[in-house]
Amino acid sequence: MKRLEKNRTSERGSAGMKALMVIAVLLIAAHAGFNYVPVAYDGENFKQEMQTAVVNGMALPPSVKPVESITARIKRAAADNGVPADAVLEVKPVGNVVQAHVVYSKQVGLLPFGLYNYTYNFDYTAKPAGYLMKEN
């Protein structure tokens, strides 16, 4: 039979190293989330603002030019949501509706010390939908 050794030096100390690795991974994930979540939130908020601007532009009276009104409102929303100045904004009439299209990209530092930067690409076309588009 084998004798059990009471003093196994090769098996000591691994719990501390595992805990340190888990803490490091959690800190890196928290850092990535801290940097990415605000950019993604601003992007989604900007989508909603674009959609609202297009729908409100369809409800304007005929005396007001909807393209200029929608463009002004989207530019205000872009400034509020941290959209870069080099973003491409295109508002044009398509058929009997007005569509707005915005494209931009933003660098987001996911790993600390600039080790990895993620490129957040925003490309969205807002089209009016809902009760304004129903024909009776």
| Predicted local confidence at residue 9, as pLDDT | 67
**Can you give the pTM of this predicted structure?**
0.82
| Predicted local confidence at residue 10, as pLDDT | 67
Closest CA to 125 of 28, 72, 51: 51
Q: Residue 31 has which token pair?
A: 């850092």
Read off the amino acid at residue 47. Answer: K
| Predicted local confidence at residue 59, as pLDDT | 84
| Predicted local confidence at residue 133, as pLDDT | 65
* Strands (E) located in 43-132: 88-94, 97-109, 117-126
| Predicted local confidence at residue 49, as pLDDT | 97
Per-residue confidence in pLDDT tens, the chain, 136 aa = 567 667 766 666 678 889 999 999 999 999 999 999 999 999 999 999 999 999 998 888 878 888 999 999 999 999 999 999 999 999 999 988 899 999 999 999 999 998 999 999 999 999 987 665 665 4
Q: Residue 51 has which token pair?
A: 């959609």
Count of residues making up the chain: 136
Phi and psi angles of residue 20, each rounded to the nearest 5 degrees, phi first: -65, -40
User: How deeply is 135 buried, as exposed, middle or buried, from its count of CB atoms within 10 A (0-12, 13-18, 19+)?
Assistant: exposed
User: How deeply is 68 buried, as exposed, middle or buried, from its count of CB atoms within 10 A (0-12, 13-18, 19+)?
Assistant: exposed
| Predicted local confidence at residue 136, as pLDDT | 47
Q: Residue 118 has which token pair?
A: 């993620």
